[in-house]
Structure 1
Amino acid sequence: MTTVARPVVAPPEPWEFPEGATYDLPNGLRLVTYDVPGQYVVSVRLGLPVSLRDEPRDREGVASIMARTLDEGTEQHTAEEFARLLERKGVSFGAGMADAGLSIDLDVVKGNLEPALDLLRQILTEPAFPTSEVARQVRTRIAEIEQERSIAAHRAGLEFVRTFYAPEDRSSRPTGGTRETVSSITRDDVAAFHAEHVVASGVTVVVTGDLSGLDVPVLVEAALGGWAKGPRQRERHLQHAAALAPDRGRIVFVSRPGSVQTEFVIGAPGPDRSVEGGWAPYPVLGFVLGGSPNARIDAVLREEKGYTYGIRSSFRPRRRGGVFLTSGSVRADSTAESLRLLVEILEGGRNGFSDKEIRSGVDFISKTAPGRYATADAIADEAVGMALDGRTTAFTTANLRDLATVDRARVAAAFAHFAEGAGIGVDAPGAGWTIVIVGDAAAHLEAVEALGLGAVTVVTDP
């Protein structure tokens, strides 16, 4: 019998994010291209660094309504005509507003990139904003607001930002506005916001896919080179971290009589990607605590106790500052016990992590990167996300390389830095956390208060 030696599997070579080519247009627009051979659906992403804080206070939500109506007709075409043009050219289009800015997504087969860019030009520079379409989107948004309040996870998120951020800060209110502010939005409000803020200066356009045979810089300049530059000062709000509420370290219980599940959102201030000591340990820390079914939280609450289908934790950086969030639902009869365990597990991070835990987090994040960024759309999404964060994808590569050096000591230092900055567990268990609970307050309030994790405020929806 012949014995064959088992082959030695070598560790993978260090992976780098694809290298892009950068071009700056005279009107302030920056173009970044990534040639991905064999991917014949070209992804175009546009990131416009306009802040939600630029919205008028009594018209909050106008940026979201504007984003939704950009493709609802132009100076040359009605909404129906424009929809048919997008369909005829095989163009998939989407736009949305978030804290980082306005994002526009466009995917098109390679052969139709030129006409697709012209359609993008019309969307950006000459949208019609028909009164009927704006009114329709306003009605849709109001209906969404009612639906969001009825879904426990959404309701918990709304109460969290209201509790966590200072009342005067835009972040304390929904991205898409409230019923009161959205109801007041008119076609003129949308057009005025667009005219002032949707300008070329500071915009990043990313084009990815098989670009062989295409002169993308020439095509983009021909389509968008005439887009008005506009003022640079619009980025002023993006340079400041959101203001936190001075009383954010407390528990808010949103009453839902008869709920058979209880929804939690537990959070604290977190770092941005410029954090001292490097960003790499923080995704690992989030992964180990609650980033997977094998993480500490699910190991106890799901596998051992059977209280939940899954609860997740992650650090969510913003351009300035950030937040650490843990969220998910549990069986109603385990409400108080689940909250006690969650706080215990999260604060247990100060006791350190095992080499096995750290290696599992590092391996997952680093070794799945080639798969995560294997397609043109994923590359484009990462590139425009970095641009809206004031960075390039050189950061993505550098962070992945730094990830290889992350060990127990660095993760422990990252947790200590996070906990100190957030004031976690300074005086007693539960200190420093903003905890929102959506569930049956009458049934579980007394048990939650008995945990001694802080003062509890009960909120009852009308």
Structure 2
Amino acid sequence: MAIRSTLIAALMMSVSSCAFINTTGNIPATNETPSSVVEEIASPLPGGIELVESFTPAEGEIGIPYTKYLMPNGLTIVLHEDKSDPLIHTDITYHVGSGREEAGKSGFAHFFEHMMFQGSNNVADEEHFKTISEAGGTLNGSTNSDRTNYYETIPSNQLEKILWLEADRMGFFLDAVTEEKFENQRETVKNERGQNYDNRPYGLLRERVGEALYPEGHPYSWSTIGYIEDLNRANLNDLKKFFSRWYGPNNATLTIGGDIDKTQTLEWIAKYFGSIPRGPEVKAPEYIPVTLDADRYISMEDKVALPLIYMSIPTVYARHPDEAPLDVLMSIMGEGRTSLLYKNLVKEGLAVQASAGHGCAELMCNFTLLALPNPASGKSLSDMDKILRDSIKEFETRGVEDDDLERVKAGIVSGMIYGLESVSGKVSQLAFYETFTGSPNYTSKDIERYSNVTKEDVMRVYNQYIKDKPAVVMSIVPEGQPDAIAAPDTWTMYERTIPEEDNTEELEVRYATDDFDRSIKPAAADFNPTVKLPDMWTSNLENGVDILGAINTETPTTALQIRIEAGERQQTLDNLGIASLTANMLSEATEMSTNEELSNRLAKLGSSIGISSGARFTTITVHSLTENIDETMAIVKERLLHPKFDEADFKRIKEQTLQGIEQRKTQASAIASGIFTLLTYGQDTPSAHPSLGTKETVSAITLEDAKNFYADHYTAGAASIIAVSDLSQDELTSTLGALSDWTGDNNITPPSFNYPTLEAGTLYLIDKEGAAQSEIRIGKRALKYDATGEYFKSGIMNYPLGGAFNSRININLREDKGYTYGARSRFSGSDVKGLFTASAGVRTDATADSIVQFVNEITGYYENGITEEELAFTKSAIGQSDALDYETPFDKLGFLSQIVTYDLPEGFTDEQSEILQNLTKEEVDALAKKHLNLDDMIMVVVGDKAVIEDDLKALGYPIVELDYDGLPIPAPQRPKLD
């Protein structure tokens, strides 16, 4: 196909002009004012809303059209129209994160993210989740050091309801906060910390580095989640004061994008947000440079399989003029397979992982280097420390090459374009830019500042910020190996100074006055979003490979997958892991090119190629700007048809795989899920074992084995292609024709299974000494996948039990009891097997009662069935969510994959909709009776046996102790009596 526009080249040379207007009406003479802007200037806006500016990208420019407004109370509004899909994404960002917290009160911003979902004056507890789920939407919130945001994606007829919800928690929150809600969410945050920090390998890395890097009291010297002791010390009034200080409309940006009517949207915003009073004035945080007077070595022991070294050097701050050249330097040092760290550590087999980063926040950036040594190399963390420092020095002689600049610039431009593939991506970008730059129109500036980086800039920032500069160097070593650290500690954590509490400050409560009843929840708009399935087409290559494609003209991008039936099903018990090893080898050198050369070519194209194996398929996933798809496909062809199978590459991949197997044994969640699968499907079922294989099988696999697996299974006869592109069917089929000379028959071996008899009612215990949480799995073998039969209906049946956020299981264990960060149940299945699983990571001291609560909820649903209210909620939630299912190219790829994998007929989605709407309570109850009998299920618990065993025994279940491979541990021999 012909290359279309030279988009990247044009953007590297200059930034295009744009159609732009502000309230003064100054318009560049070379551009016409968009008609929508003219109408808005001519019409009075509701509620005193003021038009600030409107932007439309010029032809060939990357940018997101928007209109920005300001309310009298200071709320900034950014609207973006996108009629391509019947959905809307909303984002309200408050310019407050952990960086606004005070010493001794860490974690408040994140705590508040949780509290804001607990109801307000006119929204009941848990009603926020229920309302959006019932509307067919999704929602969440997030907090970092600099901002907190709350976001929803909804069908386009639900916008007024969302604005009512967001306004109520902005303006009518404090009076609804209770001590009970406060204590419950405090426990939830503790569970989150346990799951994501304390109980996760290397989970405390950044917290410890931040303590050593920043001076005491610096807002980045504590992690966003905060310290447990600060959370324990906090009281309800502290939280209320924090809200009153930071959560006013004048510290917020409301960004809405998608299928909106701007006039109607502004009227709703004026109605629901207009009466909310301003909060205290907010100034931009003050940047104070952070410097170190010498290297600070710190260390800790952790439940890890591999030691780790992490080096952090303070640099500048986000959007500082030197951020971009430092990012280029970071890429040269440790990003991808063209980097110095890859060459010096990973390629040589000295490390299983090595990388660099330059993470930037509002007040500080940090240049980081990381390495995990390969035990087979015999290298220590001390050796890694020296190699990292030598690699930094090597940059001086290597310097900056033209390809370095081209790779980074291409990555920036392609990343911007890929970000336009979803309305959520566009809204998030607009909200981010407005919050941190004061203008949503920063895309061009972002591209420009990277486009203008020179070789001299990179060398200058290296000398100014990195060369011979002190760093915080952290070692994390396996428990019991304190001597394995890189160097003795030279810095010790100070005793934190907790300021005395000022109890004289009065709580400021701001009240709104309305001329309407806020307690009335708005109804959905009086139209139903029309969900349009992707326009699909079928074709095939000359060698018979089938193609299923869909046209997506919203962005100039192409996404595709080549699927080969060469997955775990094709393994035997003797060669577990061969599918994964072989797939990984296709990401290495080819007969014509080194891996570094291919990676360099891909990066300069802004393309990605990922190769991975799963239960049934090995999948080659491609993402490319359409103008570069021919060159990208040439690399795909080279990797697929001409892998080199180099001995050195194989040795390195094999060692990395063996370390990955050991690393899984440090992760309680992975252990629990893996052993549950082994128990339900059986040790004799190859695909029941972890995809990486076992230590014994991987150790025995040879390079010749991988070559043979490739020759036997990587054939055109076992392959199919699914693709989504703005190209026409003929154009894309022509491009994919690059693979027409791929040959080979279909050598697929149908899987056979010999499932074990489940010891139903048994509790299997795996000891993970010192675990901060316990992982629970309850379930059994269940239905195979079908799109319109009993499996599909059972998924609907499970939704109110454990599928929705406000399901019975999650509300009980998370919201009512505070035992977990999240609990759920689900049916999962393929064409040959299926499971029902209920799962959660829970507080160690609540392990036994968590099982009791799971049992109560499953039994209660089994015996009494669904309520009429739950059935109506389920039908509404699942039925209206279709609007969100087909938006992005990868959403469409998922839909196409489902069709190909299960040979689904045309119109199956209509049949699903009909089944959903006609499903009765009697049918749901019958399914619950059939599939949720706890007498058929087993339980798996991974936790600290010394702490939880007695409580588990008190439950009365037979207990069998297993090792990390799922094999029984013999009971200790009793001493013989004389």
TM over 0.5: yes
CA distance in 2, matches of 1:61, 1:381: 25
Q: What displacement does 1:15 show?
A: 3.0
What corresponds to 2:117 in structure 1? none
Q: What displacement does 1:277 show?
A: 4.2
CA distance in 2, matches of 1:106, 1:264: 36
Match of 1:349 among 861, 885, 888: 861
Structure 1 residues 48 and 293, CA, compared in 2 at 3 Å: closer, same or farther? same
Match of 1:186 among 702, 719, 722: 702
Q: Secondary structure at 1:22's aligned position in 2?
A: strand
CA distance in 2, matches of 1:105, 1:148: 25
CA distance in 2, matches of 1:101, 1:227: 18
Q: Which moved more, 1:434-443 or 1:403-412?
A: 403-412
Superposition map of 1:156-171 within 5 A: 156-171=672-687
CA distance in 2, matches of 1:447, 1:275: 42
Question: Is the 8 Å Cα contact of residues 608 and 624 (structure 2) preserved in structure 1?
Answer: yes
Q: Secondary structure at 2:644's aligned position in 1?
A: coil
What corresponds to 1:42 in structure 2? 558
1:320 equivalenced with 2:832 (yes/no): yes
Structure 1 residues 379 and 275, CA, compared in 2 at 3 Å: closer, same or farther? closer
Structure 1 residues 264 and 349, CA, compared in 2 at 3 Å: closer, same or farther? same
What corresponds to 1:225 in structure 2? 740
Match of 2:764 among 228, 238, 252: 252
Question: Is the 8 Å Cα contact of residues 589 and 644 (structure 2) preserved in structure 1?
Answer: yes
Match of 1:87 among 576, 589, 603: 603
State the AA in 2 paired with 1:259: A
* CA deviation profile, 1:369-391 (whole Å, cap 9, x unmatched): 32232011111123124423344
Structure 1 residues 7 and 339, CA, compared in 2 at 3 Å: closer, same or farther? closer
1:272 equivalenced with 2:784 (yes/no): yes
Question: Is the 8 Å Cα contact of residues 39 and 376 (structure 1) preserved in structure 2?
Answer: no
1:75 equivalenced with 2:596 (yes/no): no
CA distance in 1, matches of 2:855, 2:786: 27
Q: What displacement does 1:394 show?
A: 4.8
Pair member with larger Rg: 2
Q: Which moved more, 1:133-142 or 1:10-19?
A: 10-19
What corresponds to 1:63 in structure 2? 579
Q: Secondary structure at 1:246's aligned position in 2?
A: coil
Q: What displacement does 1:58 show?
A: 2.4
State the AA in 2 paired with 1:296: R
Question: Is the 8 Å Cα contact of residues 567 and 579 (structure 2) preserved in structure 1?
Answer: no
CA distance in 2, matches of 1:175, 1:211: 35
- Residue segments in structure 1 that go unaligned for 5+ positions in a row: 426-430
Structure 1 residues 33 and 358, CA, compared in 2 at 3 Å: closer, same or farther? same
State the AA in 1 paired with 2:554: G
CA distance in 2, matches of 1:144, 1:156: 16
Q: Secondary structure at 1:338's aligned position in 2?
A: helix
Q: What displacement does 1:342 show?
A: 0.4
* CA deviation profile, 1:62-87 (whole Å, cap 9, x unmatched): 11011122121222211111111222
What corresponds to 1:172 in structure 2? 688
Q: What displacement does 1:333 show?
A: 1.2
1:126 equivalenced with 2:637 (yes/no): no
Q: Secondary structure at 1:150's aligned position in 2?
A: coil
Q: Secondary structure at 1:404's aligned position in 2?
A: helix
CA distance in 2, matches of 1:386, 1:129: 34
1:440 equivalenced with 2:955 (yes/no): no
What corresponds to 2:107 in structure 1? none
Q: What displacement does 1:155 show?
A: 1.0
Q: What displacement does 1:339 show?
A: 0.4
- Residue segments in structure 2 that go unaligned for 5+ positions in a row: 1-515, 517-521, 970-978
What corresponds to 2:750 in structure 1? 236
Q: What displacement does 1:397 show?
A: 5.0
What corresponds to 2:893 in structure 1? 380
- TM-score (norm. length: structure 1): 0.89
CA distance in 2, matches of 1:394, 1:129: 44
Structure 1 residues 212 and 165, CA, compared in 2 at 3 Å: closer, same or farther? closer
CA distance in 1, matches of 2:725, 2:880: 23
CA distance in 2, matches of 1:305, 1:211: 53
Alignment RMSD (CA, Å): 2.5
Residue identity (%) = 25
What corresponds to 1:408 in structure 2? 921
* CA deviation profile, 1:284-341 (whole Å, cap 9, x unmatched): 2232111232110111111111111111211111112311111111111111111011
Q: Secondary structure at 1:230's aligned position in 2?
A: coil
CA distance in 1, matches of 2:907, 2:643: 35
1:308 equivalenced with 2:308 (yes/no): no
Structure 1 residues 217 and 276, CA, compared in 2 at 3 Å: closer, same or farther? closer
Match of 1:458 among 961, 973, 976: 961
Structure 1 residues 244 and 11, CA, compared in 2 at 3 Å: closer, same or farther? farther
What corresponds to 1:428 in structure 2? none
CA distance in 1, matches of 2:550, 2:729: 14
Question: Is the 8 Å Cα contact of residues 164 and 248 (structure 1) preserved in structure 2?
Answer: no
CA distance in 2, matches of 1:357, 1:70: 48
Q: Secondary structure at 1:236's aligned position in 2?
A: coil
Structure 1 residues 78 and 355, CA, compared in 2 at 3 Å: closer, same or farther? same
Question: Is the 8 Å Cα contact of residues 537 and 729 (structure 2) preserved in structure 1?
Answer: no
* CA deviation profile, 1:398-434 (whole Å, cap 9, x unmatched): 4344333334233223223324xxxx24xxxxx2112
State the AA in 1 paired with 2:961: V
CA distance in 2, matches of 1:55, 1:288: 38
State the AA in 1 paired with 2:943: G
Q: Which moved more, 1:104-113 or 1:352-361?
A: 352-361
1:331 equivalenced with 2:846 (yes/no): no
Q: Secondary structure at 2:821's aligned position in 1?
A: coil
State the AA in 2 paired with 1:170: P
1:286 equivalenced with 2:798 (yes/no): yes
Structure 1 residues 30 and 262, CA, compared in 2 at 3 Å: closer, same or farther? same
Structure 1 residues 392 and 235, CA, compared in 2 at 3 Å: closer, same or farther? farther
Structure 1 residues 244 and 276, CA, compared in 2 at 3 Å: closer, same or farther? farther
* CA deviation profile, 1:237-292 (whole Å, cap 9, x unmatched): 2xx5x443213422110012333311101121221233884443222223211123
CA distance in 1, matches of 2:886, 2:764: 39
Q: What displacement does 1:112 show?
A: 1.3
Question: Is the 8 Å Cα contact of residues 549 and 729 (structure 2) preserved in structure 1?
Answer: no
- TM-score (norm. length: structure 2): 0.43
What corresponds to 1:449 in structure 2? 953
Structure 1 residues 125 and 396, CA, compared in 2 at 3 Å: closer, same or farther? farther
State the AA in 2 paired with 1:347: T
State the AA in 2 paired with 1:234: I
Question: Is the 8 Å Cα contact of residues 660 and 692 (structure 2) preserved in structure 1?
Answer: no
Question: Is the 8 Å Cα contact of residues 29 and 204 (structure 1) preserved in structure 2?
Answer: yes
Q: Which moved more, 1:379-388 or 1:153-162?
A: 379-388
Match of 1:359 among 855, 869, 872: 872
Structure 1 residues 183 and 64, CA, compared in 2 at 3 Å: closer, same or farther? same
CA distance in 2, matches of 1:404, 1:209: 33
State the AA in 2 paired with 1:459: L
Q: Secondary structure at 2:820's aligned position in 1?
A: coil
Matched residue pairs, number? 444
Structure 1 residues 49 and 388, CA, compared in 2 at 3 Å: closer, same or farther? farther
State the AA in 1 paired with 2:742: W
What corresponds to 2:148 in structure 1? none
1:340 equivalenced with 2:845 (yes/no): no
Structure 1 residues 107 and 437, CA, compared in 2 at 3 Å: closer, same or farther? same
